Chain A
Amino acid sequence: DAKTTQPTSMDCAEGRAANLPCNHSTISGNEYVYWYRQIHSQGPQYIIHGLKNNETNEMASLIITEDRKSSTLILPHATLRDTAVYYCIVRVPNDYKLSFGAGTTVTVRA
């Protein structure tokens, strides 16, 4: 399975965009990039996923490089409620053995 590498932590000012990088240099052709976040004492929350095209939904945007070796999650206007641990994972369809790693602890400051 491909593995991902994320920075341990990052700070972001409230109201500004938060750009979270993720490296997945060994990703295979049928693996999707997924982003989740987890707030303390809650279950992981699905944010967005994509294969090779950039994706946007009401929560965030996902930018995947052309070679698919890295991606960036963009939270366009961070709020205090976006403070969480963010996980970038790669997954093939029908694979349930997810590996979340340590993720990036994002702290949004007022």
Chain B
Amino acid sequence: KAGVTQTPRYLIKTRGQQVTLSCSPISGHRSVSWYQQTPGQGLQFLFEYFSETQRNKGNFPGRFSGRQFSNSRSEMNVSTLELGDSALYLCASSSTANSPLHFGNGTRLTVT
């Protein structure tokens, strides 16, 4: 079974631009969650989607948004990029509430 796929793997953007990251969950997984990982802050939760509905949201500004499609694929968007948005963005999927989260290899975003 294929794992969680995230595209693109690397991105370089300039301040003020916007970016869209994509995540394809493991087949059959309906929950997709997003995380930001930085050396200083560690792993921070952005939001979680299930059946196209956002169920949980972390403490990030409104510049960070996401959505989930009917096939469970998900995208997240960051608008008006800031230098501090440079990070590894991880997507994880799971099948049920108590099943483990399986992570993709992330998108490395660099904002210059």
Q: A residues bordering B, Cβ < 8 Å?
A: 32, 34, 36, 41-46, 49, 93-94, 96-102
Query: How far, in angstroms, from A36 to B37 measured CA to CA in the complex?
Result: 15
Is B58 positioned at the interface, with any CB of A under 8 Å from its CB?
Answer: yes
Are the CB atoms of A44 and B90 closer together than 8 Å?
yes
Instruction: Give B105 Cβ to nearest chain A Cβ, in Å.
Output: 5
Contact of B97 among A36, A42, A93, A97 (CB under 8 A): A93
Decide if B103 touches A96 in the complex (CB within 8 Å).
Answer: no
A46 touches B43 (CB 8 A): no
**Interface residue? B56 (CB, 8 A):** yes
Chain B 10-45 interface residues, beta-carbon cutoff 8 Å to A: 31, 33, 35, 42-43, 45
Most buried by B among A44, A93, A96, A98: A96
Question: B103 touching A94 by the CB < 8 A rule?
Answer: no
Are B43 and A42 in touch, CB under 8 angstroms?
no
- 7 A-B pairs besides A43-B4, A96-B45, A101-B42 with CB distance below 8 A are A32-B98, A34-B100, A43-B92, A44-B90, A96-B56, A98-B35, A98-B45
The smallest C-beta distance from A81 to any residue of chain B, in angstroms, reads: 16
Q: In the assembly, what is the distance between CA of A102 and CA of B106, in Å?
A: 19
B75 at the interface (CB under 8 A from A): no
Q: When A34-B100, A44-B90 are in contact, do A97 and B58 touch as well, CB less than 8 Å?
A: yes
Query: Complex Cα distance A101/B44, Å?
Result: 10
Chain A residues contacting B56 (CB-CB under 8 Å) are 96-97
Q: Which residues of B contact A44 (CB under 8 A)?
A: 43, 90, 103
The CA-CA distance from A42 to B106 in the complex, in Å, is 7
Q: What's the nearest-Cβ distance from chain A to residue B51, in Å? A: 14
The 4 closest A-B pairs by CB, nearest first: A43-B103, A94-B97, A93-B98, A96-B48
Residues of B within 8 A of A46 (CB): 100-103
Q: In the bound complex, how far is the Cα of B37 from the Cα of A102, in angstroms?
A: 12
Contacts of B90 in A (CB 8 A): 43-44
B66 within 8 A of A: no
CB pair A100 B58 closer than 8 Å: no
Of the candidates A32, A42, A93, A94, which one forms a contact with B105 in the assembled complex, judged by CB atoms under 8 Å apart? A42
